[in-house]
Amino acid sequence: MRILHLEDDLRDAELVGEILMSEGIACEIVRVDTEAAFLDALGQGGFELVFADYSLPSFDGISALKITKQKFPDTPFIFITGKMGEDRAIETLKHGATDYVLKDNLSRLVPAVNRALQESREKMERMRAEETVRLQAEEYATMLATTSDGFWLLDADGKLLDVNDAYCKMSGYSRDELLRFHIPDIESLETAEKTAQRIRKVMETGFDLFESKHRKKDGSLLYVEVSSSFWRATGRLLSFVRDITERKRAEEELKGSEKKLRYLSSELLTAQERERKRIAGELHDSVAASLGAIKFSIENILSEMNQDELAQARLRDLISTIQQVNEETRRIMSDLRPSVLDDLGIIAAISWFCREYEKTYSHISVEKQIDLSENDLTDSLKTAIFRVSQEAMNNIAKHSKASHVVLYLQKRQSGIELTIQDNGRGFDPDTTKKGLGLSTMRERAELSGGSFDVESTVGKGTVVRVSWPAT
């Protein structure tokens, strides 16, 4: 610690230094005894304390005090002087002296120094705190004035204590009108309890981010995103409010577009099924019939031929080929659109498909459980159920290495549920994002108004579940 000491008596100055050092106060004392020396040393700065004798031959202590307080108003100034009357003592304090100590009672020196230093530190801390508050207030005012986002300052009860011009512009209310409100007064479709829960969450966690709807002064809706934090020093909540109305409207329009797209996709599937049905009918009425007629004619010719064994053998080969083509045509017809689905319904179609499936994949047994009636399903839903069942069962044959499949089709209170379960090798759904026909089944289920879910564990088989809500 550096001390500037205005004292013309060298012995008195040395005694002051010895007293301070004996009490463990490490210091460097710069002694001066003239006005010029005092002004020169003071101008260099860096002193934490100033001592001064009240009266010197050419320079008085009051003048030194005034000069010190003018240049360094926060530096403690202590008079160490000879006898001083009460009037003089009061005069020194009026001019800003921190304390005074008489030379014949230097026992008061150390307490006076400690007290002066303590008061100086406290004063500096207050000044720093006040400066911090001032800067924060300036930053707060600048933030309110310049941010394009809305701003609230709330108390713990949700009362608006301050708002900025940006939020006034968003809401259509004036600042005076808003400061009469609690947050539930301007939130649309929000309850006071929900608002209180949000405030408690912010106070407990320090931060929250959420979306809300506000009712503007003209009655229209304002969609906002609120970023709220808790200012523990004041017990207040600071919230920045961003207008997301255009974004929400765009999202709603997108949802509407998605709904239209789903409808168009559903219509496309329906048109596809109609085209499948038409092509299957054409194959049945034209190609299959023609093949059947050709086969019949060749068989008649064969029965009327003479004993030309080579020609007969060739005709028999041709009959066999026609038979294979005819069977392949009928298979294509069934794949395109099994007539049993249109003629007899979904229950008969699934039963037929399971029988054909067991014939084709003789190593897989099929157990079916159907608990509904034809009247429980629309024609479009029957098609979706058949196609999902067909895709799921074919996937089992291709990939699962299963030996047993169970197909459940039942009506529940919540709607219609189709479940296809196998005992195959399974797979990891987290790593198998594509393939296995999952996306095709999901798309068909969702376009028909249902939800699709698959559960599988490696080594424990797979369950495909599709649900359609009750209508």
Note whether 303 and 370 are same-domain residues: no
Per residue in 2-40, pLDDT (tens digit) is 999 999 899 999 999 999 999 888 899 999 999 999 999
What span, in angstroms and rounded, lies between the C-alpha atoms of 208 and 302? 89
Classify residue 133: in a domain, yes or no: no
Encode 318-335: b = buried (16+ Cβ within 10 Å), e = exposed.
Answer: ebeebeeebeebbeebbe
And the tokens for 43?
């101008």
Least-confidence region, from 72-86, 189-203, 452-466:
189-203
CA neighbor of 112 nearest in space, from 124, 97, 101: 101
Note whether 421 and 444 are same-domain residues: yes
What number is the average pLDDT over the span 135-152? 72
- Single out the residue in 318, 337, 356 at which a domain terminates: 337
Number of domains into which the chain is organized:
4
What number is the average pLDDT over the span 332-342? 67
Cα dihedral 275, 281, 282, 284 sign: positive
pLDDT at 88 over 90: no
Owning domain of residue 462: 345-469
And the tokens for 336?
């395109």
Question: By three-state DSSP, how is residue 21 classified?
Answer: helix
Residues 6+ apart with CB under 8 A from 445: 384, 388, 451, 452, 466
Classify residue 64: in a domain, yes or no: yes
What number is the average pLDDT over the span 409-414? 91
DSSP 61-87: HHHHHHHHHHH-TTS-EEEEES---HH
Percent of the chain, pLDDT > 70?
A: 79
Note whether 330 and 356 are same-domain residues: no
Note whether 323 and 408 are same-domain residues: no
pLDDT at 361 over 80: yes
Going by pLDDT thresholds of 50, 70 and 90, the confidence category of residue 66 is very high
Note whether 320 and 407 are same-domain residues: no
pLDDT at 94 over 60: yes
Note whether 6 and 116 are same-domain residues: yes
Note whether 455 and 364 are same-domain residues: yes
Q: What is the pLDDT of residue 339?
A: 75
What span, in angstroms and rounded, lies between the C-alpha atoms of 341 and 337? 8
Cα dihedral 176, 178, 179, 180 sign: positive
What number is the average pLDDT over the span 291-307? 66
Question: Residue 188 sits in a domain of what CATH number?
Answer: 3.30.450.20
What number is the average pLDDT over the span 197-215? 89
Going by pLDDT thresholds of 50, 70 and 90, the confidence category of residue 302 is low
Note whether 101 and 154 are same-domain residues: no
Per residue in 275-295, pLDDT (tens digit) is 566 555 555 554 555 566 666
Classify residue 139: in a domain, yes or no: no
The pTM of the full predicted model, rounded to 2 decimals, is 0.39
Note whether 281 and 302 are same-domain residues: yes
